[in-house]
Amino acid sequence: MGFFDRLSNLWNGILGRWISTKETNNPEAVYEAAIEERIKRHRELKKAVSGIVYLRNKLTAELEAQEHQQQDVNAQLPVAVEAGEDEVAILLLTKKNALEGSIAQLRIDLDKISTQAKDAMETLVSFQGEIEKLKRERDEMLAKRATAQARIQIQETLDGLSTDADIKALENVREHIHKMQAEADVGSEIKQDSLDARLAKVKVKTQDATAKSQLEELKKQMAARNTAAEGTVKKTM
């Protein structure tokens, strides 16, 4: 192998890997290109099939026309013979023989072209089905690729997280919450020991003492009324 052959192989290898990398990095473009190429070929195939169908229809029309002529000749021939028109009869017989040969050949040709048209139509329908199948495959594969990329990204994110950092973050949060609770407790204790709190306690005690004095006074008054009532009853008796 010569130097230039080796250089050509090396270049082809590098170019092939570069193209392969581009294709794998952009699968949607690859699918779209493949689908577009098949659609183009489908148009070409459809055009070819239309030519075959046109020829089949043309042969069918020619066959029908000659069969009608054959029917007319078959109807005219006995009339010419009975009328003694030998020249006309010979002309009709010649025409009849020509029509029979032409009709036979047309039927052979029509049979062949009809088979070709049928096969071509089946190929066209099958090719259309392949295009639709490729479109479905594109959608499914792109969806799988997106899902795989999302899973890989999530996994990479999880792998990038430090467990120690997570624990440290939780400890910081817990410590902050405990400090807030301590501050709330301190505020409550300060409020309980404040002058206002002490004054409130004194007011409560004063109110209780006043209420007790009033109760004692009320009991004395009721006892005095009861004693006076009893004395009145005795005098009456």
Pair 113, 142 in one domain = yes
Pair 122, 17 in one domain = yes
Pair 217, 185 in one domain = yes
- Contact partners, residue 45, CB within 8 Å, separation at least 6: 120, 123, 124, 127
- CA distance linking residue 25 with residue 145, whole number of Å: 11
Note the pLDDT tens digit of each residue in 216-225: 877 788 777 7
Pair 121, 179 in one domain = no
The pTM assigned to this predicted structure is: 0.48
Note the pLDDT tens digit of each residue in 139-175: 888 888 888 888 888 777 766 655 565 667 777 777 8
Pair 22, 136 in one domain = yes
Pair 205, 133 in one domain = no
Which residue is associated with the tokens 């206002």?
196
Q: Work out the burial of residue 37: count CB atoms within 10 Å of its CB; fewer than 13 is exposed, 13-18 middle, 19 or more buried.
A: exposed
Pair 37, 154 in one domain = yes
Q: Domain end: 136, 161, 186, which one?
A: 161
Pair 126, 23 in one domain = yes
Least Cα distance to 49 among 121, 125, 115, 111 occurs for 121
Pair 194, 116 in one domain = no
Q: Domain end: 103, 128, 161, which one?
A: 161
pLDDT of the residue at 7: 40
pLDDT of the residue at 80: 86
Pair 13, 124 in one domain = yes
Pair 14, 54 in one domain = yes
Cα dihedral 188, 190, 196, 202 in deg (nearest 10) = 90
Pair 175, 156 in one domain = no
Q: Domain end: 128, 161, 194, which one?
A: 161
pLDDT of the residue at 111: 93
Averaged pLDDT, groups of 10, the chain, 237 residues long = 46 44 66 87 88 91 93 90 88 91 93 90 87 88 83 74 61 77 65 59 70 77 75 61
Task: Residue 39: give its domain's CATH number.
Answer: 1.10.287
Residue range of the domain that includes 230: 170-236
pLDDT of the residue at 23: 47
- CA distance linking residue 144 with residue 151, whole number of Å: 10
The count of structural domains within the chain is 2
